[in-house]
A = this chain, B = another copy of it.
Amino acid sequence: MTTSAPRNGAQALIRTLVDSGVRVCFANPGTSEMHFVAALDAVPEMRGVLALFEGVVTGAADGYARMADQPAATLLHLGPGLANGLANLHNARRAHTPVVNVIGDHAGYHKGFDAPLESDIGALTGWTEGWSRTTTDPAEIGADAAAAVAAAQAGQIANLVLPADVSWGEGGVPAAPAPRPVLSEVDDERVAAVAEVLRSGESTVLLLGAGATREAGLLAASRISVATGVKLFAETFPARIERGAGLPAVDRLGYLAEQVQWQLTDVKHLVLVGAKAPVSFFAYPGKVSELTPEGCQVHTLASLGEDTAGALAKLAEVVAADTEPVLQEPSRPALPSGDLTPQNWTEVIGALLPERAIIADEANTSGLMIPMTTAGAPRHDVLTLTGGSIGYGLPVAVGAAVACPDRPVICLQSDGSAMYTISALWTMARENLDVTTVLLNNRAYAILRMELMRVGVEGAGPQANSLLDLARPDLDFVSIARGMGVPATRATTAEELAEQFAAALAEPGPHLIEAMVPSLI
User: Interface of A with B (CB < 8 Å)?
Assistant: 27, 29-32, 34-35, 37-38, 40-41, 44, 48, 50, 52-53, 55, 79-81, 83-84, 86-87, 90, 94, 106-107, 109-110, 113-117, 119-120, 123-124, 126-127, 129, 164-165, 168, 237, 276, 279-283, 285, 289-290, 386-389, 391, 416, 419-420, 422-423, 426, 429-430, 447-448, 451-452, 454-457, 460-464, 466-470, 472-485
A129 CB contacts on chain B under 8 angstroms: 120
A420 CB contacts on chain B under 8 angstroms: 52-53, 84
Known A-B contacts A37-B452, A38-B460; the reply to A467 vs B27 at CB < 8 A is yes
Pick the contact of A87: B84, B279, B477 (CB < 8 A): B84
**CB proximity of A13 to chain B, nearest CB, Å:** 15
**CB proximity of A101 to chain B, nearest CB, Å:** 14
Query: Are A38 and B473 closer than 8 Å at their CB atoms?
Result: no
What are 5 A-to-B residue pairs whose CB atoms are below 8 Å?
A31-B282, A34-B452, A115-B281, A123-B123, A476-B483
A389 CB contacts on chain B under 8 angstroms: 80, 83, 117
**CB proximity of A313 to chain B, nearest CB, Å:** 28
Query: Are A31 and B448 closer than 8 Å at their CB atoms?
Result: yes
Pick the contact of A283: B109, B426, B430 (CB < 8 A): B109
Query: Are A456 and B116 closer than 8 Å at their CB atoms?
Result: no
Query: Are A41 and B483 closer than 8 Å at their CB atoms?
Result: no
A29 CB contacts on chain B under 8 angstroms: 448, 467
Known A-B contacts A40-B467, A80-B389, A466-B48; the reply to A119 vs B106 at CB < 8 A is no
Query: Are A80 and B84 closer than 8 Å at their CB atoms?
Result: no
Query: Are B55 and A115 closer than 8 Å at their CB atoms?
Result: no
A44 CB contacts on chain B under 8 angstroms: 463
Q: In the bound complex, how far is the Cα of B40 from the Cα of A452, in angstroms?
A: 13
**CB proximity of A31 to chain B, nearest CB, Å:** 4
